[in-house]
Amino acid sequence: MRPDVHRWLRRRTYTATAWTAVDLAEARRSQGTTVSVVLPALDEEPTVGAIVRAIREALVHDTPLVDEVVVVDSGSSDRTAAVAAAAGATVVDTASVLPAHGRVPGKGEALWKGLHATGGDLVVFVDADLVGFDPQFVVGLLGPLLTDPAIGYVKALYDRPLTTAEGIVPSGGGRVTELLARPLLNAWWPQLAGFVQPLSGEYAGRRELLEQVPFVSGYGVEFGLLVDLAGRAGVDALAQVDLGTRRHSHQSDAALGRMAGQILQTALARRPAPGPPDPELLQFLRTADGVEAVSWDVSVTERPPMGSVRAGGRSRS
């Protein structure tokens, strides 16, 4: 493993249980820091209400860690907006925020408009399709930001079970992550190979930093933010926090193919200066102490066209 990635992993990987909501509420009160939570939502009627309610009960009413919970409705055709509002969220529609900029489809658009529609110094993004959501997710994401001024952006890491018709595969989820995003990141941005879940939809950042980078409109938004924020603030300003396990609703293989296409477009638009890709691939295993990185050499050797070999052989004979 590259020494810089090894150092970063040890220095910038945290566990959500390191903080309590009460401690962080006191930290942010003494700093005068405000916190917004943004949930992008497209047709998430079955799950959005429970997530909003859990955050509001634990982190607005019981302990004052969060100032506002905003659901950004990304053009839902179900009752997402009504359910979110009934649970206590402020609901905005992507079409009504910055109307002069129009509305383009996709998750990243909802996040970008959510950034505009909120006012917190710290902004926490949480997907609205999570199942069994725990408000400690928000506490964990805020922990590094409220306790270390050098950190500007924090991404979630977690185990990702895959729920299938046959049952639950404990670490079968994150298929786009494993098959596309991680290999791409390792090849072209190996300094970011320590991110266990580069596509995680739960992350938090300082507004002053988030407002300096573009937001890709679709599913490339996480990949783009990671690369762009590292470029803007440096890898040491980025951190990850272990939230345990995360379950969500899965998309079809065909939909994941389209997601992968958007991530590929995002990566190609940011491709670093030409040069050989890094041949190391870091993958991660869950251990009793957290996660362990496993390094693989994925370099390939190009054999010449057989015709040229035969021609060379003939000329030698």
Ligand X SMILES: O=C(O)[C@H](O)COP(=O)(O)O
Residue 284 lies near ligand UPG (rule: CB under 6 A): no
Beta bridge partners of 40: 72
| Residues that contact ligand UPG, how many (by CB under 6 A) | 19
Q: Which is nearer to ligand X, 83 or 156 (CB)?
A: 156
Using rule CB under 6 A, residue 106 touches ligand UPG? yes
Contact positions vs ligand X (CB under 6 A):
160, 162, 173-177, 199, 250-251, 256
- Among 11, 29, 105, 169, which residue sits at the site for ligand UPG (rule: CB under 6 A)? 105
At 193, list the tokens: 């190979």
Distance CA 310, CA 90 (A): 71
Q: Are 284 and 203 in contact (CB under 8 A)?
A: no
**248 counts as binding ligand UPG under rule CB under 6 A:** yes
When CB distances are held under 5 to 8 angstroms depending on the partner's kind, the choice from ligand UPG, ligand X, none that residue 173 binds is ligand X
229: contact with ligand UPG by CB under 6 A: no
Contact 241, 15 (CB under 8 A): yes
- Asked if 138 interacts with ligand UPG (CB under 6 A), we say no
Inter-residue contact 66 to 121 (CB < 8 Å): no
CB 93 within 8 A of CB 102: no
Regarding 259 and contact with ligand UPG (CB under 6 A), the answer is yes
CA–CA gap between residue 202 and residue 193 (Å, rounded): 18
| Residue type present at position 313 | G
Instruction: Enumerate binding residues for ligand UPG (CB under 6 A).
Output: 40-42, 44, 74, 105-107, 110, 127-129, 199, 201, 219, 222, 248, 251, 259
